[in-house]
């Protein structure tokens, strides 16, 4: 059974995944470091992937929101895995029609998320991706991307508080047992957690009023599992949504030709 390498390049992390057939069998997370060379990324990736998979790969696909790293990632895949990677960019068949003012500016990861959510849940669907920024995206029942929202990520919001308030300590981002805290640390944790949850649910509530008959609200990204249980609107958490979408896009661009024997 053939293996497919999928790579999601984000501002904070690079996620590598391997599909064997239809199953995502392994995934790994690397810190995004723009100063790393293709060789450095290749050695890290080969150590992680090579220990688990000795079989050849049939292909590789990449979504990236960090253009300066695209050349390094492409070179890494070419040199260490012997393949030319397919990058999700204008001209690649995704199955999603982009109905925005400037389709070229929509992040590849957002489109890939919509591909996976529409394939699994149908539409209209709203996808919330908790990354460096938190993005909210809408895909319709007929697979049109009609826009979304970009908000500062939870970690960015917390870091701003720590940096600008000299007397406040740095605290872990976690759910406190109650909203009302009895000490400074719990006060801060409550403000960060429930304050951000209010932002998420506030935006989702307004989006659902603008998009009737939403079939699913799907969350993904590193902090999805932390916030989703308290959300009034998030129905599903799928940590691998982006990787699943990459696999679907790869298949749509490498469909077997029919009529040949």
Among residues 56, 87, 118, which one ends one of the domains?
A: 87
Query: What beta strand segments (E) does the chain contain?
Result: 3-9, 13-20, 23-31, 57-64, 86-87, 97-98, 125-130, 133-139, 144-152, 216-221, 236-237
Q: In this structure, is residue 253 part of a structural domain? A: no
Here the CATH number for the domain that contains residue 48 is 3.30.420.40
- Residues 36 and 130 reside in one and the same domain: no
- Residues 103 and 68 reside in one and the same domain: no
- Residues 199 and 237 reside in one and the same domain: yes
- Residues 167 and 61 reside in one and the same domain: no
Q: In this structure, is residue 194 part of a structural domain? A: yes
Q: In this structure, is residue 258 part of a structural domain? A: no
106: which 2 tokens?
């929509």
Number of domains present in the structure of the chain: 2
How far is residue 162's CA from residue 173's CA, in Å, rounded to a whole number? 12
- Residues 194 and 118 reside in one and the same domain: yes
Q: In this structure, is residue 40 part of a structural domain? A: yes
Concerning whether 109 is annotated as a catalytic residue, the answer is: yes
Q: In this structure, is residue 230 part of a structural domain? A: yes
**Helix (H), strand (E) at residue 209:** helix 184-210
- Do 148 and 161 meet the contact criterion of CB atoms below 8 Å apart? no
Write out the chain's pLDDT in tens, 261 residues.
678 999 999 999 999 999 998 899 999 999 999 888 899 999 998 888 876 665 678 899 999 999 999 999 999 999 988 899 999 999 899 999 999 999 999 999 999 999 999 999 998 999 999 999 999 999 999 999 999 999 999 999 998 988 888 788 888 888 999 999 999 999 999 999 999 999 999 999 999 999 999 999 999 998 999 999 999 999 999 999 999 999 999 999 986 644 443
Is there a cis peptide before residue 197, judged by omega within 30 degrees of 0?
Answer: no
- Residues 78 and 180 reside in one and the same domain: no
Among residues 61, 87, 113, which one ends one of the domains?
A: 87
Choice among 8, 55, 109, 201 that is catalytic: 109
Among residues 24, 55, 87, which one ends one of the domains?
A: 87
- Residues 108 and 224 reside in one and the same domain: yes
Report pLDDT for 9: 96
Report pLDDT for 222: 86
- Residues 133 and 177 reside in one and the same domain: yes
Report pLDDT for 162: 87
- Residues 34 and 135 reside in one and the same domain: no
- Residues 129 and 221 reside in one and the same domain: yes
- Residues 82 and 112 reside in one and the same domain: no
Q: In this structure, is residue 92 part of a structural domain? A: no
Q: In this structure, is residue 116 part of a structural domain? A: yes
- Residues 106 and 144 reside in one and the same domain: yes
Report pLDDT for 259: 42
Residue 142: domain span: 97-241
């Amino acid at each position: 059974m053939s293996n497919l390498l999928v790579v999601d390049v984000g501002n904070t992390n690079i996620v590598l995944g391997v599909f064997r057939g239809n199953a995502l069998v392994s995934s790994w997370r690397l810190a995004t470091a723009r100063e790393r060379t293709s060789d450095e990324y290749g050695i890290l990736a080969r150590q992680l992937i090579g220990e688990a998979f000795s079989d050849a790969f049939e292909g590789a696909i990449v979504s990236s929101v960090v253009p300066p790293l695209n050349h390094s990632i492409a070179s890494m895949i070419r040199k260490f895995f012997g393949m030319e990677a397919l990058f999700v960019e204008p001209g690649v068949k995704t199955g999603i029609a982009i109905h925005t003012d400037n389709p070229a500016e929509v992040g590849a990861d957002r489109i890939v998320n919509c591909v996976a959510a529409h394939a699994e849940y149908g539409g209209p669907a709203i996808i919330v991706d908790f990354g460096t920024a938190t993005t909210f995206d809408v895909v319709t029942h007929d697979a049109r991307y009609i826009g979304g929202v970009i908000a500062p990520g939870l970690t960015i919001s917390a870091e701003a508080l720590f940096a600008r308030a000299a007397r406040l300590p740095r605290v872990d981002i976690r759910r406190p047992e109650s909203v009302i805290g009895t000490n400074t640390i719990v006060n801060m944790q409550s403000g960060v957690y429930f304050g951000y949850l209010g932002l998420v649910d506030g935006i989702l509530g307004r989006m659902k009023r603008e998009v009737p008959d939403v079939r699913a609200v799907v969350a993904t990204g590193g902090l999805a599992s932390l916030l989703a249980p308290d959300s009034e609107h998030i129905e599903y958490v799928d940590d691998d949504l982006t990787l699943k979408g990459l696999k679907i896009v790869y298949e749509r661009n490498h469909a077997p030709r029919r009529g040949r024997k």
